[in-house]
Structure 1
Amino acid sequence: MHLSHEEDDYNVSLSRFESMLKTNKVFFFDSEEFEEIILHYLDMGKASLAKKALKLALEQHPRSTGLKLVQIEMLIYDDKLDAAEKMLNELYAIEPHNEEIYIQKANIYSKRDQHEKAIEELEKALQFTDDYADVYNLMGMEYLFMDNLELAKHNFIKCLEVDVEDQAALYNVVYCFEFLDQQQEAIAYLEKYIDKNPYSEIAWHQQGRLSYSIKNYENALRCFDYATLIDDEFIGAFMEKGKSLEKLKRFEEAIEAYERTIELEDPTSYALLRIGKCHEKLGNKAEAIKFYNKTVHEDPLLDKGWIAITDFYIRLKNFQKALFYVNKALAIDNENQLYWKRYATINRNMNFYEEAEFGYRKAVEFGDAHLDTWLFWIDILQFLGEFDSAIQTLLQASEFFPDEYQIEYRLAGMYYMLQQNDKGKFHLTNGLQLNANNRTLMEELFPVVWNKKIVQNVISKHVKS
């Protein structure tokens, strides 16, 4: 690739400047060369070199407005806002039509969290600038800081009307649409944008992502296909393409998309995990476990990898191995309700009831709000003979599930077993009122209680009435 004359000159200037620093010789640069050198070092995060260049620049060009504006920009960067403001006021007296003065004033106001005043300055800049896109972009950012997403979106759109290839503005427009929960409007906007700029892989990718979020997987796939045709090294688009193909149950093609991401870059644990899941869906168990093992080898701290292996062995009913791997996941995230529930289920299947009880208790403690989790926990407490704990847990569960017959029948059975017949009758009546057809649940869980005459009398009266 041949460098343009501008790039060539720029590199020569940079080389001459760095040579000057090494030899302590003084070379002459025009003010624009100095500006480019300073901004290069700022972009590289080399503030000390930028300051050296600025000092030399001002020595050679003490009256250059451009260099003074760069100096102001550096003062703002260093939070020396008062000094920057003083210099801006001096420049304003000389060049009141210089849009950069208003932009830097806006930067100062923005740094002081005075975003309305920043916007006022940017509106003044619009009267004098030739770079409307940059000013609209800055206004959009100020409105973002103010959480005014509608006006932020409006300004980013205006920026794109002037500079259709401004990728940062495009991302920001989509962000605003999404934040405002306007996915359909975002897709419609991107369709119009693509009509003007059909080779924007970013626009196709964003439209695909939005289509995926509203479960339009066919359109998502179409968009990701276009994005990868435009840029055949677009890793994110290949990854999203794989996800869309999975949703469409086209697992072999999904594997190809994920494998493409691995060809382009070092394997990611996420891609390896998805390939494993696809192989498992295809019934390729040996390939599935191979990729799951690669996943945790690539990232041993990825709990989702260990859980994938756990679920693989649960489906094979190999609970011994499943227990080993769920413990690996819990070692990484021991506050995950889903992992504790798996731990409990595995132990229950292995008849390790005390461990299962502990697992269900932890799952509830960390936010599991599913009825079956509570019921498994309670039934194990009953099996272990911990009736008081079982009753307390049932009463706690009834606060979350006030109209659940399965809780009422269990409470009735527990109280009858403890000879607290009045309480037993109360909860049995509640259960019958909620769901009399499933009253045989009492017989399954409490056969001794079921055969008691006082229990059958309550049931008979309810059925007859």
Structure 2
Amino acid sequence: MQLSHNEENNFSLTRFESMLKTNDVLFFDSNEFENIIHYYLENGKIALAKKAVKLGLTQHPGSTNLKLLKVEILVFEDKLDLADGLLDEIYDLETSNEEIYIQKANILSKKDLHGEAIEMLEKALEITLDEADVYSLLGMEYLFLEDFENAKQSFMKCLEADEEDYSSLYNVMYCFDFLEQKGQAIEYLNGFLDNNPYSEVAWHQLGKQYFDLKKYKKALAAFDFAIISDDYFIGAYLEKGKVLEKMGRYNEAIENYKITLELEDPTSFAYLRIGKCYEKLGADELALKHYRQTVHEDPLLDKGWIAITDFFIKKQNFSKALYYINKAINIDEENVLYWKRYAKINQRLSYFEEAERGLRRSLELGNYELETWIRRCDILTGLGEYEAAVQNLLQATEFYPETAEIDYRLAGLFFTLQEAEKGFYHLENGLSLDCEYYIIIEELFPKVFARKSIKDKINSHIKACS
């Protein structure tokens, strides 16, 4: 009985692994060794691949393909000089093997010599029978050089040779997006679909392009075609749900998100979007149920914790909101979005020291928005921490020089600290930047504003401006 190709491969693998266990020496032809090595490389079993190469070259020392597989392993292990030397030996014996140029290009690429790698791949292109693979490698080299136009053209040529190479299709779209060529991307996809009308990936990508352009009806039609082409395509159902949300068709969006839960293991994203839809429909209990499922499914997804926290903030149930944001912070203390909400909630609950802590952590984590500096200053001022408030604002001036909101506050703080010279300096600055913002002093520092010298300074400046 004749064995199938897969049965032959399995038989060869079984014999090879039996040989390793028993230390018997069995003979394999070079093709068998190549299949064994490819199997191990594809499954990440590098040590076994190396053993197979060593034994293969012992039995077939003249095999170019086995030597090239050895080169591939050396490149993988970053032994680039050894790999390059072996390639030179192979090249002296056989100049017309495309794999020599491909591996040379791989070595040059690893050395960040992408221009030279492209030259090697162009040589491979002259002799190869598999243009798709070489064009794909060329595209990647152009991406390394951030030459997106040539990368795009290379991936397009790859698709001309192999229309089912979806990784190249994704790369083409990545280049279009980077080059901000939405119109050209749509034109290309429509042309591709003329030849491949059942390409679910192309329909999906076309829908995403229309979605970005807010052409929701066309996006919806494209995602429908993607689903017709493959009714198990989860990405198309998710994207269709997003479009339906934008169109205000929340019940239909929920239906599409729920389909993804049935097709595959539930995702936190689907639960989150379902929760958002239910919230828009006013079905609060169902919204809350799905938000809780979101954070249960993926406790690290910040959007889930933010959704459930914001849900309670909108309901003005700040105690519950604080409970959930504390849970989120316990999981990820480095998330600035959590600390901003922590500060906001504590401020609404009049827990000002905790609110200040939240704003301080937000700043420490790199949230340098003007509002964060201002809010922290006002809380510190309310707590009587005037010097800390001054230091906070002086740091803010590094990011926001010549800002009236900062200068008026600094003026009020310095007057409060009995540093009149600095107070008048910042008052002058504030008045020159925006004379109407003096109400900041009136509201935050009423005792300072009540001083005759302050009022005179403000009034004289306002008269001069009018």
Aligned Cα RMSD in Å?
A: 3.5
Matching residue of 1:302: 301
Matching residue of 1:392: 391
Shift of residue 382, structure 1, vs aligned partner: 1.9
Pick which of 400-409 and 356-365 moved more.
400-409
Rounded Cα–Cα distance in structure 2 between residues aligned with 1:279 and 1:137 = 44
SS in 2 for 1:334: coil
Shift of residue 291, structure 1, vs aligned partner: 0.9
Shift of residue 355, structure 1, vs aligned partner: 1.4
Matching residue of 2:7: 12
Shift of residue 290, structure 1, vs aligned partner: 0.7
Residue pairs, 1:70-81, within 5 angstroms: 70=69, 73-74=72-73, 76-77=75-76
- Could you report, residue by residue, the CA deviation over 1:225-281 in whole angstroms, capped at 9, with x for unpaired residues? 322221111222222332333333332222222212211111122221222122112
Q: 1:17 to 1:307 in 2, by over 3 A?
A: same
Please tell me whether the aligned partners of residues 299 and 331 of structure 2 are also in contact (alpha carbons under 8 angstroms). no
Matching residue of 1:280: 279
Please tell me whether the aligned partners of residues 193 and 199 of structure 2 are also in contact (alpha carbons under 8 angstroms). yes
- Could you report, residue by residue, the CA deviation over 1:373-398 in whole angstroms, capped at 9, with x for unpaired residues? 33322222222122232333334434
SS in 2 for 1:127: helix
Pick which of 95-104 and 136-145 moved more.
95-104
Please tell me whether the aligned partners of residues 13 and 36 of structure 2 are also in contact (alpha carbons under 8 angstroms). no
Please tell me whether the aligned partners of residues 361 and 377 of structure 1 are also in contact (alpha carbons under 8 angstroms). yes
Rounded Cα–Cα distance in structure 2 between residues aligned with 1:364 and 1:76 = 45
Rounded Cα–Cα distance in structure 1 between residues aligned with 2:235 and 2:337 = 28
Residue pairs, 1:6-405, within 5 angstroms: 9-18=4-13, 20-21=15-16, 32=31, 35-47=34-46, 50=49, 69-70=68-69, 73-74=72-73, 76-77=75-76, 92=91, 95-111=94-110, 113-213=112-212, 215-405=214-404
Shift of residue 427, structure 1, vs aligned partner: 3.7
Unpaired runs of 5+ residues, structure 1, are 1-5
Does residue 405 of structure 2 align to residue 410 of structure 1? no
Rounded Cα–Cα distance in structure 2 between residues aligned with 1:179 and 1:97 = 37
Rounded Cα–Cα distance in structure 2 between residues aligned with 1:55 and 1:463 = 89
Rounded Cα–Cα distance in structure 1 between residues aligned with 2:139 and 2:277 = 42
- Could you report, residue by residue, the CA deviation over 1:202-229 in whole angstroms, capped at 9, with x for unpaired residues? 2222333344445555544433332222
Does residue 431 of structure 2 align to residue 451 of structure 1? no
Pick which of 128-137 and 398-407 moved more.
398-407
Rounded Cα–Cα distance in structure 2 between residues aligned with 1:156 and 1:335 = 39
- Could you report, residue by residue, the CA deviation over 1:31-78 in whole angstroms, capped at 9, with x for unpaired residues? 656544543343233445556666776788776655555555455555
Shift of residue 90, structure 1, vs aligned partner: 5.8
TM-score (norm 1): 0.84
SS in 1 for 2:127: coil
- Could you report, residue by residue, the CA deviation over 1:292-316 in whole angstroms, capped at 9, with x for unpaired residues? 1112222233333222222111111
Rounded Cα–Cα distance in structure 2 between residues aligned with 1:68 and 1:459 = 86
Shift of residue 286, structure 1, vs aligned partner: 0.6
Matched letter for residue 354 of structure 2: E
SS in 1 for 2:38: helix
TM-score (norm 2): 0.84
Matched letter for residue 123 of structure 2: K
Matched letter for residue 7 of structure 2: V
Please tell me whether the aligned partners of residues 239 and 271 of structure 1 are also in contact (alpha carbons under 8 angstroms). yes
Shift of residue 12, structure 1, vs aligned partner: 2.6
Q: 1:16 to 1:357 in 2, by over 3 A?
A: closer
Rounded Cα–Cα distance in structure 2 between residues aligned with 1:31 and 1:347 = 72
Percent identity reads 56
Matched letter for residue 452 of structure 1: R
Please tell me whether the aligned partners of residues 313 and 321 of structure 2 are also in contact (alpha carbons under 8 angstroms). yes
Please tell me whether the aligned partners of residues 224 and 240 of structure 1 are also in contact (alpha carbons under 8 angstroms). yes
SS in 1 for 2:171: helix
Please tell me whether the aligned partners of residues 303 and 332 of structure 1 are also in contact (alpha carbons under 8 angstroms). no
Rounded Cα–Cα distance in structure 2 between residues aligned with 1:67 and 1:233 = 41
Q: 1:426 to 1:232 in 2, by over 3 A?
A: same
Pick which of 289-298 and 140-149 moved more.
140-149
Rounded Cα–Cα distance in structure 2 between residues aligned with 1:225 and 1:349 = 46
Pick which of 163-172 and 259-268 moved more.
163-172
Please tell me whether the aligned partners of residues 88 and 105 of structure 1 are also in contact (alpha carbons under 8 angstroms). yes
